[in-house]
Amino acid sequence: MAKDGDKSEWKEFVWNPRTREFLGRTASSWGLIFLFYLVFYIFLAGLFALTMYVMLQTLDDHKPTWQDRLSTPGLVIRPHADETFEIVYTIQETESWDMYAQTLDKFLSAYNNTVQAQKNHQCTPDQYFQQEDSGDVKNNPKRSCQFNRTMLEICSGLQDRYYGYQDGRPCIIIKLNRVIGLLPGKDGQAPFVTCGPKKDDADKIGELAYFPENGTFNLMYYPYYGKKAQVNYSQPLVAIKFLNITLNEDVNIECKIHANNIPTGSERDKFAGRVSFKLRINTVF
C-alpha cells in the first residue's frame, strides 16, 4: 500500500536503524557538523571581540574622535523666542511678559554666584585657560571659570527682578554655542557681540547697554574641552538692555559676534555667528 510505504519511508528517513542514520546522517557526521559550526562561531565571536577591543583602545573617553557639531558656532538668545524668533508683549499685561522673566530666572540660576563659587574657579582674565593633556597623561577633569550672575549687572535679575520687561527696557541674553577647542578672538582681543537694527529699523532700536562691558566673552572661558572632560563648564554670557526702543512697532534686530575665526553669515551657513529676532513692545497708553 502506497500510504504505508510512504509512512515507513518517512520513518526510515528520520531514523534508519539499519544504517543508524538520523535524518540521513550518521551520528559522527552530525557531530562533525556541530563541531564545525561551534568552531566557526567561536572564531567569529573572537574576531568581533578583538576588533571591538582594538577600536575602543583608540577612543578617548574625554575627547570626541569625530565632531559633528558645527565648527562655526551660532549665537543663541534667551529668553527663547519661539521658532518665529519674536519677543512680543504688552507692558501693562504682566502675563504677557512674566514668562520671559521666568525663563531668564531659570536660565540664570546656574550662574548664581554661590553656585559658581562652588563649581568653578577664579581664572586669570584676558587669556585662554589652556589645560592640555601632556602626551598620554590626561589632565582630567578640567577646571572651568566662574561666570557670576552679578556680572550681568542690571540684567542679572537680582536688583531688577523683571529684567526691565515691566518698563519697556528689556534685557536679552546671548550665548555662543559650544565648540570644542575653539579659540575665538579678534586681533588678540576677546570676541564681542554687537546688536543693530535690520532693514529700516535704524531709528527705532534706540540706545543699547551691554553687560559685561563692551559685550565681550572673556578669553578665559576658552577653549572648551567637551562635556566629559570639563563637567562644570558655564558658557559665558552677554546681556543686552534696550534702553529706548520704539514702542508699538516691530523692531528687527540682528546681533553678531566679532571674532576673526568665526565667519558671520557665510554662504555655507548663514546663521553662523549671528542671530536675528523681532522685538515688539506694546503699550496701551
Ligand X SMILES: *[C@@H]1O[C@H](CO)[C@@H](O)[C@H](O)[C@H]1NC(C)=O
Residues in Cβ contact with 215 at an 8 Å cutoff, skipping those fewer than 6 apart: 192, 193, 194, 238, 240
Straight-line distance from the first to the last Cα atom of the chain, in angstroms, rounded to the nearest whole number? 108
Sites for ligand X among residues 133-172 (CB under 6 A): 141, 143, 146, 148
Interface with ligand X, residue 202, by CB under 6 A: no
Residues in Cβ contact with 195 at an 8 Å cutoff, skipping those fewer than 6 apart: 205, 208, 240, 253, 254, 255, 256
Question: What phi and psi values does residue 259 have, to the nearest 5 degrees?
Answer: -155, 135
Of 51-59, 209-217, 257-265, 274-282, the window that binds ligand X (rule: CB under 6 A) is 209-217
SS3 at position 11: helix
The residue type found at 140 is N
Cβ proximity to ligand X, 141 vs 265, nearer residue = 141
Interface with ligand X, residue 246, by CB under 6 A: yes
Cβ proximity to ligand X, 149 vs 256, nearer residue = 149
Cβ proximity to ligand X, 61 vs 207, nearer residue = 207
DSSP 8-state assignment for residue 186: B
Cβ proximity to ligand X, 94 vs 122, nearer residue = 122
Sites for ligand X among residues 105-134 (CB under 6 A): 109, 112-113, 115-119, 122
Q: Can you list the alpha helix ranges (DSSP code H) found in the chain?
A: 2-14, 27-57, 94-108, 113-119
Cβ proximity to ligand X, 19 vs 122, nearer residue = 122
Q: Is the CB of residue 220 less than 8 Å from the CB of residue 127?
A: yes
- Contact letters (x/-) for ligand X, 3-42, by CB under 6 A? ----------------------------------------
Task: Indicate which single residue of 214, 248, 261, 283 sits in contact with ligand X (rule: CB under 6 A).
Answer: 214
Minimum CB separation of residue 239 from ligand X in Å reads 14
Sheet bearing 21-22, strands edge to edge? 15-16, 21-22, 25-26
DSSP 8-state assignment for residue 78: E
Cβ proximity to ligand X, 112 vs 177, nearer residue = 112
Size of interface with ligand X, in residues (CB under 6 A)? 22
Minimum CB separation of residue 237 from ligand X in Å reads 13
Residues lying near ligand X in the complex (CB under 6 A) are found at 109, 112-113, 115-119, 122, 141, 143, 146, 148, 206-207, 213-214, 216, 231-232, 244, 246
